């Protein structure tokens, strides 16, 4: 198993931008690298600071569950909480 990783903290802006653009094309596929944002605005405070590994896990679980990357639901929140091991908001059920 290869353990090489890219440290984006030391990469040039051109390199980082190229990787962000590439990862954007992988959103919604198993090739997503965990670099680019893929979530709705509501999840920003949870996923923005997540590691690429955690982002990839959330992304994969959303795909496996057939969840939209542009919608908001308790199922989305529950997966985020499970992966990040954090408490997440409980959405009110509209009547």
Tens of pLDDT, residue by residue, the chain (95 residues): 677 777 888 999 999 999 999 999 999 999 999 999 999 999 999 999 999 999 999 999 999 999 999 999 999 999 999 999 999 999 987 66
Total Cβ atoms within 10 A of residue 46? 19
What is the pLDDT, as a whole number, of residue 38?
95
What is the pLDDT, as a whole number, of residue 9?
87
C-alpha Rg value of the chain to the nearest Å = 14
Q: Are 61 and 69 in contact (CB under 8 A)?
A: no
Give the predicted TM-score (pTM) of the model.
0.88
């Amino acid at each position: 198993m290869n353990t090489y990783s890219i440290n984006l903290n030391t990469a040039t802006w051109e390199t980082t931008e190229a990787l962000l653009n590439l990862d954007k094309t992988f959103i919604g596929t198993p090739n997503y690298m965990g670099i680019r944002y893929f979530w709705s605005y509501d999840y920003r405070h949870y996923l923005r600071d997540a590691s690429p590994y955690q982002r990839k896990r959330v992304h994969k679980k959303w795909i496996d569950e057939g969840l939209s990357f542009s919608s908001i639901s308790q199922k989305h929140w529950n997966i985020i909480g499970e992966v990040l091991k954090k408490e997440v908001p409980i959405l009110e059920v509209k009547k």
